[in-house]
Every structure is written in structure tokens, then in C-alpha cells.
Amino acid sequence: MEKKMEKLLEMKGNEMKLLKILEKLIILFLVFIVALIIKDYIILPRMDNLSNSIIIRRPNTFFNNDQYHIMTATAYTRHPDCISPELDDGFTATGTRIRKGVAAINVDLVNGEWKVNSLLRLGQKVKITDMENRLIGYFSIEDTGPFKVKDIRKGSWKDLNWDKRNLDIYVENINIARNFYYKEIKVYPLD
């Protein structure tokens, strides 16, 4: 009888050790999840450092500093608030992988077909600066999207000229996209 009791106590002790190990693993997992949340939602890059996060290598192209479009810029990312999950396949409208250095132009649904409605064209390379000529980056126009004037500027749907003059810049973090809001920019076509 004593042996059975010892064996039961030993089994119970092993179960308790296993439960303590499992508890520690769950705590580690929760700490990891909290760290991910903090990384994405609390430790945001400062907006004045945004240009450092989106500049890509300067193309070997010459351009005329006198020729540019004054446009507005917004930002988007691969988040359900920016791209509906049904359309988010990781690729741009031109079939390239979505990545840093990509920008999107507006499309409108006209008679059942999507038509580009922008001062820029798909495949075009551009240099973007702010209104004080500080470099934001070099981008390739590879993506499209129906912009939402009403959501962004609280404007009217009749304000389609704004859509035509807007460029949506890909960023890697939803918080950068949300905080970017919209900015007036100079866009220099490079080709």
C-alpha cells in the first residue's frame, strides 16, 4: 500500500512539474505577443524620420528640376484598413511584388472598367520631395487603387481632381500609414 502511495505521489509531483513548465511556456508566449504589439503600436517611427524609412536607391536617370507636379501624398500598407483581404495577394497592379519604393495612382470605375485617373502613368519612375524640396524618395508607379477622397479629406465625391493629383506611397507599417495622413508634395517624373 505504501508503494502505491509513493508511486501516486511521484506521479502527482511529475504532473505538477509538467504544469509548471507549461505555465512558464505560456507566460513566455504572452510576453512575446505583448512585445510584438508594443513594436507595432507603441514604438512608432517619428514622422520627421519617415523619409529615411522610404527612400530607395536613386535611379541612374537625369531629370529637369524645373518640371514637376504639385500633388498630394497618402500612404498605404498591406493591412485590412488599406487593402481589402480579397485583393491583398502581395502583388501590385502591374504584377510586381509590393515593396518599399512602390507608389500607387488612382483608378476610377467608368462604365464597368477600371481606368487610370492620374497625372502619372503606370511604370513611371518619379522623385518626390516635400514642398521645401527635402527628399522623400525615389519611387516606381506600379500599383493602383480607387482613392477615397471623402474618407481622407472629408471632401465631396465630386472632388475627383484631388484623386487625380494624389499618389499613394507604400509603407511597411499601418501606424506610419495612419499617421502620414496626406501631404502636399512635388513629383518629378524621371522618364
With a cut of 70, say whether residue 84 has pLDDT above it.
Answer: yes
Q: Residue 141: what pLDDT?
A: 93
With a cut of 80, say whether residue 130 has pLDDT above it.
Answer: yes
Split at pLDDT 50, 70, 90, the class of 127 is very high
| CA dihedral of 94, 98, 99, 105, whole degrees rounded to 10 | 60
Q: Residue 30: what pLDDT?
A: 85
Out of 35-44, 110-119, 141-150, 156-165, pick the least confident.
35-44
Mean pLDDT of the chain: 76
Fold of 47-189: Barwin-like endoglucanases (2.40.40)
Question: What are the angstrom distances between the C-alpha of 114 and each of 15, 40, 106, 144, 145?
Answer: 63, 34, 10, 10, 9
Q: Which residue has the higher pLDDT, 1 or 81?
A: 81
